[in-house]
Structure formats: C-alpha cells, structure tokens
Amino acid sequence: MRALISVSDKTGIVELAKELENLGIEIISTGGTYKKLKEEGVKAIEISEITGFPECLDGRVKTLHPKVHAGLLAIRSNKSHMDQLKELSVDTIDFVFVNLYPFKQTILKDGVTREDAVENIDIGGPTMLRSAAKNYQDVAVVVDPKDYDKVLSELKDNGSVSLDTKFYLMQKVFMHTSNYDTMICDYIRKERNDTELPETLTMTFEKVQDMRYGENPHQKAAFYRQIGKLKGSLADAVQLNGKELSFNNINDTNGALELLKEFEDPTVVACKHGNPCGVGSVAVDGSESAKSGADCAISEEEAILKAWDKAFEADKVSIYGGICVVNRKVTLELAKAMKPVFLEVLVAPEYDKEALELLKEKKNLRILQLADISIPQSKDALDIKKVNGGVIVQTIDSMLYNEDELKVVTKTKPTDAQLADMKFGMRIVKYVKSNAIVVVKNTQSVGIGPGQVNRVWAAKQCMEHAKELINEDALKGAVLASDAFFPFADTVEAAHEAGITAIIQPGGSIRDQESIDKCDEYGIAMVFTGMRHFRH
C-alpha cells in the first residue's frame, strides 16, 4: 500500500508518517513536506521519482500527472482499470493526506498583495483531493489533521479503513474544497469591488460553537462566523464571563449592536427579543446632538453613565433579562448602576478592572468585550433571510436618510432640538420590527411600539407604555418617528392627544395631505424623509 502526503499545515505529519511506515505503507511526498519527512528520518519517495517528471514552475506543477491521478482514480474491482494500470506501469495510491496552500491566512494578512493572494491558490492539492474522494471506496483521503488518529486507529485494529469512514472523509474533502473555492471567489469579488448580486450565490462560514439548542429546546443550533476580517462584529467579541451565548442571545445582541453603531455620542441600547426597549444617548460638548437640548456631560465617563440612566428609565420592566450594549468603557460607577439589574448579556469596548471584577460577581452574566464596537458593517454586506426552498438576499440598510432631502411639510417648523430628536428617533425606529413607532425626547426613547399589524396600534401601544413606564408627562413635547408613511391621519390624532409636538416619517402615501392637514390643525411640526425603513 502507498500513501501520498503533501501538506501545508504540517501539524502531526511526522508522527503520522512514521506510524504509516511502521504499518508497512510506502510514503510518497512533495516539496516542503518531502524535505521535512526526510529530515525526520522518514523513508519518503519524492513525487518526481513516481512521475518521472521534475517539479517545475516554482512548484506550481508537481502532482498534475497521469501516474498520480490514474493511481488514485482506478477502481480496484474494475478489471479493465487494473489492466490499464499494468499496461501503463502505474501503481495504485491507497491513502492521500493533503491540506491546501494557506489562502485564508494569506488574504487575512495586512497589506497582502493580489499577487501573493493568487500565488496561494492551490491547484494540485484540490485536484488530488477530488480524485481521491471520487474513488472513496478504494482510497482513504484525509484533509483534516484531526482525522489522522481515526485512520491510524482503524488501520492498526483492522488492517484497513472502513467504507463508512472513507465516505465520511469524502464528505469532508468536498466541504473543504467548496469552502476553499468560495473564499477565492469572495476575494476576487471584493478585489473587483463587485456589488452586484450574483447569478449563483455561494457563501462559506466556519463553526464557532455548537449550542445547547436553538430558539427552542427541541431545535438544534450552532454559531458560524463569516471568514474574513470582522472588526465590530459579534463574532469577533471576546467573552469574559458567564455561560456560552445561546442562539437567542446572539440574535438579540447582534440587533442591539447594529443599532448602537448608528450613534457616535456615548450611548446605551437595551434590547429584548430582537427589539430595542430602551435607548439613551448623551451629547458631549461640540457634538451635533448637543442641539437636542440635553445637558452636555463634563466627561465621556459621566456621559455614558447618564446614557445608562436614560436607557434604564425608558423601560425598567422590559430590560429585565435583556441585552445591554454600550459604546464607551464601563467604569466602576456604571458597573455599580448596572449590577442590580438582571441582564443576560453585556457588551462594551472596554472595562475598568474594578468594574469587571464587580460585574463578574454575577456568575450568569455573559460579559463580552468588543474593542471595535462602533465600526459599522460594510455597506456591501448582504442581508440574507432563509425561506422554505431558498433565500432572499438584499444589501444592508446602511442609510438613514439624505439630509438635503428632508422636507418640512407643515406650517409649524421643527426647532433644532426637535430635528436632533427626529434623527435620534429615526435611528431607533430603523431597528424596530414593522409596523414600528418610536417616541423620543431629549435623546431618550420614551416609548417603542414594535411589530404591530396596524400602525395606529403601534403608536397607541408605544404611548401607553410611555405613560405607564415613565410618567404621564413623558410624551409632552416629544417627537414621534415612524418607519413608514401614515395611510391615515389617525396616528397624528393619537400623537396630538398624547402631547407630541413633532413627527418624522418617510411620506409617500396618496393620503399624505390628510396627515399634513391634521398636523397643521394641531400645530404639530412634520418632516418627510423620503426613505422608509421596514424591518421584517
């Protein structure tokens, strides 16, 4: 029996080769692998001795030869195949241990050139893997060093590798080569700045962890990360405390993080079941949102503490068991304020040592550190949703609105403070399930109405919660934001009754004038953005 060994990742390869030798298996090898094995005393045969043809083109051509691929692809039970091998003086190859040029590691290096990336596209390796895997019933092909022990164990115990194991190894080969080719394709697409949705969509992800279950205990689940540089992504966060993240933790935390990225000022977002339940932001001196009329904090430490107070006061009930994300360092004072509140997950870019020690006293609190928490998702990223039998794909909702397209449509004009709160409200409503209404005041959410089948229901729910959870005066002088236009004037009516004095919405309904007239009747300022933000 003969084994062909050609690996980029040489982990455990010498030990493997020596074990194979002890079992009487002849070793064939290539390039750097051959050199390594010879240095370690393995009696390997160089591939050129088998092919009768030297490695050439700086190693680009080594194994692309009939004496290699015929030896891999010949079906042992097929007499015609075996007769042809004899006639051509080709011997069979029974084992293949191959892993590929480090394309992923190469493209993840800072400053990598296109030439370096292309040179690390393996050709011979995937070809050998596919040939061996196609003939799985006769050839054991191993692409993952984790499987070395499994193959050796079966050889020692049974003198051969079982058909079931070979079929399992075949599966891993095609998963691996598919993943490899997808990375190459994705790299080329990014190099070309290709933002078109392709005719065929292939994506690849690496498993981060298996989970105890999915959304519900009877569902299986795992967490996979996209391959590439993921600054600002939850997949790049470091967990400092608590149990592993659940399926729902990851889903909800991701939504909270994406909302947090909308803000530059010190901001706290509390989230529950995929919807924000409290958002607080505090302007620091000189920032655009200082126009809102909120007190400017003396320092960012004070600002993030006040932002927490706003987010918590917005909904003290729903935050229980929720997610909290902050875009500034967690100080000891902030940790003291947070500790009495039951949170599932806390994410921040940094923690004071004393703050972290205090929070770790809550053994079940999942504490994550995400250094690049404010880096937004790439605008060419794709938003993908699974449907039965397929997926629907769109580019991410990376815009809020165009400032120069804002249109004041009422006789009453919004103040600078109202305009600042309008932007704050639209940033939030963008991440609330439709139909969505958000009411804000002084860069604090005071009411959030998510996921209703009727827009006026969302508005009324939002306003009722504001009065119940904050106080009766919470809505007086507040600003209402809507993710889509008003088909009727009933939402304006409800806003007036609650004491709301300004509204921002996309506009675009054939009945816009009814809402405009109703605002004029009540002296409410209304602004159209021209851009809706449905979230389903």
Q: Residue 69 corresponds to which amino acid?
A: H
pLDDT of res. 293: 52
pTM for this model (two decimals): 0.84
209, 247 Cβ separation under 8 angstroms: no
Residue type at 473?
A: D
Of the candidates 96, 101, 131, the residue with the CA atom closest to the CA atom of residue 117: 101
What pLDDT does residue 95 have?
A: 94
How far apart are the C-alpha atoms of 362 and 355, rounded to whole Å?
A: 12
| Per-residue burial over 406-443, b = 16 or more CB atoms within 10 Å of its CB, e = otherwise | beebbebebeebbbbbbbbbbbbbbbbbbbbbbbbbbb
Q: Which residues of the chain have pLDDT under 70?
A: 285-297
Distance in angstroms between the alpha carbons of the first and the last residue of the chain: 58
**199: DSSP letter:** S
pLDDT at 56: 77
Contacts of 168 (CB under 8 A, 6+ apart): none
Q: What is the pLDDT of residue 287?
A: 58
Return the pLDDT at 290. Answer: 52
Give me the DSSP letters along 291-339.
GG-PPPBSSHHHHHHHHHHHHHHH-TTTTTTEEEEESS-B-HHHHHHHT
pLDDT of amino acid 47: 85
Exposed (0-12), middle (13-18) or buried (19+): which is 184, by Cβ within 10 Å?
Answer: middle
Distance CA 421, CA 444 (A): 9
Instruction: For each of the domains in the chain, give its residue range(s) and CATH number, in order of start.
Output: 2-191 (3.40.50.1380), 205-369 (3.40.140.20), 403-528 (3.40.140.20)
Phi, then psi, of 432 in degrees rounded to 5: -110, 135
- How does pLDDT run across 458-475, given as a tens digit for each residue? 888 888 888 887 888 889
388 prior amide bond cis, ω within 30:
no
**Which of 65, 190, 273, 339 is flagged as catalytic?**
273
pLDDT of residue 295: 54
Query: Is 273 noted as a catalytic residue in this protein?
Result: yes
In sequence order, which residues have a C-beta less than 8 Å from that of residue 4 and are 6 or more positions away? Answer: 28, 29, 47, 63, 68, 93, 95, 96, 97, 98, 128
Q: Is 134 a catalytic residue?
A: yes
Question: What are 528's strand-pairing partners?
Answer: 407, 505
**Sign, CA torsion 318/319/320/323:** positive
Q: Which of 10, 18, 134, 339 is catalytic?
A: 134
C-alpha angle 479-480-482 in degrees, rounded to nearest 5? 150
Give residue 533's pLDDT.
87
